[in-house]
Structure 1
Amino acid sequence: MSSDAQLKQFAVQLFKIDAVKFGEFKTKIGVMTPIYCDLRVIISYPAVMKSLTELLVPKLKALKHVDALCGVPYTAVPIATALSLETGLPMLMRRKEVKDYGTKKLIEGSYKCGDKCVIVEDLVTSGSSILETSRDLEKEGLKCADVLLLLDREQGGIDILKKRGITVHSVLTLTQLIQYLVEAGCVDEIMKDKLKEYLAQNQIRDEQVKITPLINRLNIPFEKRVLEAKNPIATKLFNIMATKQTNLCLAADLTDCTKILNLAEQVGPYICVLKTHIDILEDFHSNFIQPLKEIAERHNFLLLEDRKFADIGNTCQLQYNKGVFKISSWANLVTAHSLMGKGVLEGLKSSVGVFLVAQVSAAGSLITDNYTSSTLELAQAFPDLIAGVVCQDPLFLDCPGFIQLTPGVKIGEKTDSLGQQYNSPEFVVKNKGADVAVVGRGIIEANDPVQAAKTYRNLLWRSYIDRINC
């Protein structure tokens, strides 16, 4: 079969498996496009993957002295795997994020400095993903001057890469793809004209290409992360943690005002935050607030009301400012759910600092991965208001200005009778990414709360020091 016939057959294959769709689609940046390419589905069609491999192999063999292949994560990883199996060339794998455990390697596989690595990608629009992959490979001493590509969207990415010394060898361009589909009767000339107009009006400029910085907040000391914080209370908290050498938050889940005040006075020197549930106090009176604020000022810790606001913006605003508790008059920080969208944050704009809840420590939680991802996106849309995120995993490694608050910390226990799940102080800091760890019953139920607070403070701080020194 001739090369042209192979390409035409491959184009039709893509169309038949819905890897290429025509209509009206919104892109990630909000622009409407008449064509949508979802090449991830190829992995479910071995025959199509085989066709693609057969088209890429000659291009790969035409390159000289290739030592390894690396697929851009994650769609191109199976393509690189197929090429590796077909040609016998070793394959490397680039992680999208730095591991926070083990060797913390970004590039997996066997290689040596000076090896020539060919990058494999499914499609190119701006070329930013290829540039990020090239950057990370070159940081390890690998040479990356060539890219094997399935589809060039013809929006300027190839030229942008060329200016940076990277040559792209593509199987198809978007124009070729649609011409083959017109010839095969899959689409009509009208769609071909719409695509031509779209490409003419939607070219990527060089200055539009944004490369995600390679940052891992887990390795950055608090005194440096303070420079990245946009929220003033996050700035204050970073400074408190660095100067007091503590990342311990006490969950003062007691129902008696006097007991909370006494406990705060006793353990104040060892904590950076005292977390309350003000509505569980059985003897609450407004006279309780002033001495609590004075203790916090004297021992240099912040007050976090764990209200978990989760209503429409107007109601959240009233709950924050009004009522018997008047949370806005004393709490430095509050927690909120993202369930109601940005309205809850609009209602809390007068707040000094918000922790958005992305994950919880309760067994059987209905929080999904999509909900967690949406919560992080919402947090990044309000950087001046958001002090950090409540979560159980290291979710935002590239946002050093946010603080990870992790509840459910206790020595020697894994769960309670009501579904609370616990992790050890060392585990939540080193493995789960906690910047501030929340300890409640491990301190308030201890025979000696002061000694318990010292123990937790020391374990948490030592784990943080080990983490940043890895």
Structure 2
Amino acid sequence: MVFEIFYSQLQELISVLLYDFAIKESKCQHVCGVPYTALPIATLLSVKAKKSMLMRRKEAKSYGTKKVIEGHYCVGDSCLIIEDVITSGSSVMETVNDLRKEGLKADEAIIILDREQGGKQNLENNNVSVKSLFTMSDLIGILVESKKVTEQMGIDVKNYLNNVQAPKSVSLNERILLPYEKRAELTSNPIAKKLFNIMAVKKTNLCISVDLTSSIKILDLIEQIGDHICLVKTHIDIIEDFCDNFITSLTNMAKKFNFLILEDRKFADIGNTIALQYEKGLYKINEWADCVTCHSLPGEGILKAFSSSNEGTNKGIFLLAEMSSEGNLITPEYTQATVKMAEKYSKLITGLVCQKKETFNNPEWIQLTPGVQLESSKDSLGQVYNTPEKVILENGADCVVVGRGIVFAKNPAAEAIVYKDTLWRCYMKRISGKIE
């Protein structure tokens, strides 16, 4: 509907109709027009409703703030999306995704014309309610009644719309059905994007936990299995012969085999102490680890500390929402509070360490799940192991941590292949939607 921008009277009429129809009673703080044809109408509505206007750029500027969303807003503010026409709803969803990445609530869209080809349903599948000033059926009815088109033309148009529907989109809440490549496009965390892409390219969602105390043995193990993993999880403080050469060798291997490094430090202290533990001391974790794990127990200060430490760098955090050890003290309330904390600092979050797919819905985050072996079991210290089928198909894991099952195998390389292939088959079955 580009034509409306060329006629000032038509613009004014449409803006008045939209204002009375849907915006007058809206409690949103901002409006945002889908670029580019909806921008003039959104501007008029912003002035008429006395609401702040946000502008979404299709491409971020290469200078200045480099922001995709321009305007004055706070995390948690609500924004009403304005669009002229929807067919599949994809343009609206692009705007919704960018707004949500900035921490804004974007769950309402006002449309001038709904072509009734599936766009409304696609948007509602992604928690965006849609109100349209007209539907194509309304418009055709008006045209037929006013003798502007014949009744047969009206019937032909309606039949065409019914027969030519836009592809159905997968709900973003159904993150377990989205492939890694699609989720890489959605995420705002650079490490999550890298890890999604590595998993997709290497066809592996296997994370190896190298719980060994010898740096030589760790490097030897990675040399054997590097082609089959996407992530190496370290406990740097258990290595008895730690030295800078180990870090150099490890990071070189990460480049050679295309995997990322997760230091499983499980930070849990006040912000100032966290910053020192992360940047200083013997290990200088921030210099070589792509991402780290931390508890939410200390509160937001822990994420503020990481945010300051990582300013201008590409790093990430896996926040612990659940644990796999028997009898752990994490409650459902604690888990929910952890997810809310992650939402507030979404750009910093690579994912959550958790055990259940219901823990979170955000497709931008990676569910990292430990405690996996080919057969269910439990060790003498209360660690509960689940099978690949259970953790991926039932529990929603995206990246699966395996330790002793590979590390202490007679042939680690062969065992890594078995785990890799099994986990990947489960993932492919999951995104196909053919889970029995």
Range of TM-score over shorter length: 0.5 to 0.7
* 2:316 maps to 1:353: yes
3-state SS of 1:348 partner: helix
* Distance in 2 (alpha carbons) for counterparts of 1:397 and 1:307: 23
Whether the aligned pair in 2 keeps the contact of 1:217 and 1:397 (CA below 8 Å) is no
* 2:295 maps to 1:331: no
Match for residue 311 of structure 1?
A: 269
CA-to-aligned-CA distance 1:10-33 (integer Å, 9 cap, x gap): xxxxxxxxxxxxxxxxxxx9xxxx
1:161/1:353 CA distance change after superposition, 3 Å: closer
Match for residue 215 of structure 1?
A: 173
Whether the aligned pair in 1 keeps the contact of 2:184 and 2:196 (CA below 8 Å) is yes
Q: How does 1:16-27 map to 2 (within 5 A)?
A: none
Query: Structure 2 length normalisation: TM-score?
Result: 0.60
Could you tell me which of 344, 357, 368 is aligned with 1:394? 357
Shift in Å, 1:261: 0.6
Match for residue 366 of structure 2?
A: 403
CA-to-aligned-CA distance 1:28-63 (integer Å, 9 cap, x gap): x9xxxxxxxxxxxxxxxxxxxxxxxxxxxxxxxxxx
Report which stretch shifted further, 284-293 or 248-257.
284-293
Residue ranges of structure 2 left out of the alignment (5+ in a row)? 1-26, 28-106, 109-119, 123-129, 136-170
Whether the aligned pair in 2 keeps the contact of 1:320 and 1:326 (CA below 8 Å) is yes
Shift in Å, 1:230: 0.9
Match for residue 344 of structure 1?
A: 302
Instruction: Please report the RMSD computed on the Cα atoms of aligned residues, expressed in angstroms.
Output: 2.7
Match for residue 237 of structure 2?
A: 279
* 2:415 maps to 1:457: no
Whether the aligned pair in 1 keeps the contact of 2:336 and 2:359 (CA below 8 Å) is no
Match for residue 256 of structure 2?
A: 298
Shift in Å, 1:215: 2.5
> Given residue 245 of structure 1, which amino acid in structure 2 is its aligned partner?
K
* Distance in 1 (alpha carbons) for counterparts of 2:402 and 2:215: 19
1:228/1:282 CA distance change after superposition, 3 Å: same
Whether the aligned pair in 2 keeps the contact of 1:217 and 1:400 (CA below 8 Å) is yes
Whether the aligned pair in 2 keeps the contact of 1:218 and 1:397 (CA below 8 Å) is no
3-state SS of 1:466 partner: helix
Match for residue 97 of structure 1?
A: none
> Given residue 298 of structure 1, which amino acid in structure 2 is its aligned partner?
K
CA-to-aligned-CA distance 1:79-103 (integer Å, 9 cap, x gap): xxxxxxxxxxxxxxxxxxxxxxxxx
Match for residue 248 of structure 1?
A: 206
Match for residue 98 of structure 1?
A: none
Match for residue 43 of structure 2?
A: none
CA-to-aligned-CA distance 1:94-132 (integer Å, 9 cap, x gap): xxxxxxxxxxxxxxxxxxxxxxxxxxxxxxxxxx99xxx
Which one has the largest radius of gyration? Answer: 1
Whether the aligned pair in 2 keeps the contact of 1:216 and 1:397 (CA below 8 Å) is no
Match for residue 234 of structure 1?
A: 192
CA-to-aligned-CA distance 1:423-445 (integer Å, 9 cap, x gap): 00111010000000000000001
Shift in Å, 1:284: 1.0
1:342/1:164 CA distance change after superposition, 3 Å: farther
Task: List, as ranges, runs of 4+ consecutive aligned residues in structure 1 with deviation greater than 2 Å.
Answer: 160-165, 395-398
Match for residue 115 of structure 1?
A: none
> Given residue 389 of structure 1, which amino acid in structure 2 is its aligned partner?
L
3-state SS of 2:262 partner: strand
Whether the aligned pair in 1 keeps the contact of 2:212 and 2:238 (CA below 8 Å) is yes
* 2:381 maps to 1:418: yes
Shift in Å, 1:450: 0.3
* Distance in 2 (alpha carbons) for counterparts of 1:462 and 1:233: 24
1:458/1:314 CA distance change after superposition, 3 Å: same
* Distance in 2 (alpha carbons) for counterparts of 1:227 and 1:322: 34
Shift in Å, 1:348: 1.1
* 2:225 maps to 1:262: no
Match for residue 34 of structure 1?
A: none
* Distance in 2 (alpha carbons) for counterparts of 1:466 and 1:367: 31
Query: Structure 1 length normalisation: TM-score?
Result: 0.55
Shift in Å, 1:163: 8.9
State the aligned residue count. 275
Q: What's the % identity of the aligned pairs? A: 51
3-state SS of 2:377 partner: coil
